[in-house]
Structure 1
């Protein structure tokens, strides 16, 4: 027996950021986890362009793909986890991982896209540090082997 699901409660309670944007790229849903992750309150984010969290250098590429998705109703990223840079309200860089899904209205017309986002900044920095340390140890080992 399937219990009724309160989707608003789910989106509010979930630990990952849930961001929905319309076909124009403006934010239509911004949950509390998105507030914690990106620093913008719901009131500050709703109605704004996704540019508020996209680093300026990546906006052209993002919007090219976004428009293509809105025109075709297809995305390459429905099942893939995307890992990209993002930006916090205070300007600091974030490393995020997310999945997306297309949203449709009752007439099967595309109405927007939902992203479920996780902050992986700490993990990314740890991995970068480990890669750097491995490179240093390999260089040291090569230098000792050559001596």
Structure 2
């Protein structure tokens, strides 16, 4: 038996950020987890560019890929988890992991992208400290 799923209830309840952007990269959906994660309220995010959360140094690369995806209808990241830096509203750097999916109109025209995002800043920091400690131990073992 199939039950209808209330997307808004799901998006509001889920712990991961859900961000939807239109063909031009404007934010059209921003769930409560995105607010908690990035610090921008829904009203601050909606209608704005994804540049809100993309580090300035990565914007050119991001937009090249975004526009290519919109033009071709293809993404190499459909099933892969992407791990990239992001920026919080207060300016601090974050490490995020996310998946993306392409969204289509009823006429089957590509009209947006949805990203489901998790903040992995703590895990990234822990991994970096472990790698650093391992390098120190390997260096001391060679002496």
TM-score (norm 1): 0.97
Mapping for residues 18-33 of structure 1, pairs under 5 Å: 18-33=18-33
- What residue is the counterpart of 1:55 in the other structure? 55
- What residue is the counterpart of 1:129 in the other structure? 129
1:94 aligns with 2:94: yes
Cα RMSD between the aligned structures? 0.4
**What SS does structure 1 have at the residue aligned with 2:74?**
coil
Q: String of CA shifts for 1:100-135, please: whole Å, max 9, x gaps.
A: 000000000011000000000000000000000000
Q: String of CA shifts for 1:54-106, please: whole Å, max 9, x gaps.
A: 00000000000000000001100000000000000000000000000000000
CA shift for structure 1 position 52:
0.4
| Runs of 4+ with deviation above 2 angstroms | none
Distance 2:95 2:5 in 1: 31
- Alignment length (residue pairs): 143
**What SS does structure 1 have at the residue aligned with 2:86?**
strand
Distance 1:50 1:123 in 2: 24
CA shift for structure 1 position 3:
1.0
CA shift for structure 1 position 4:
1.2
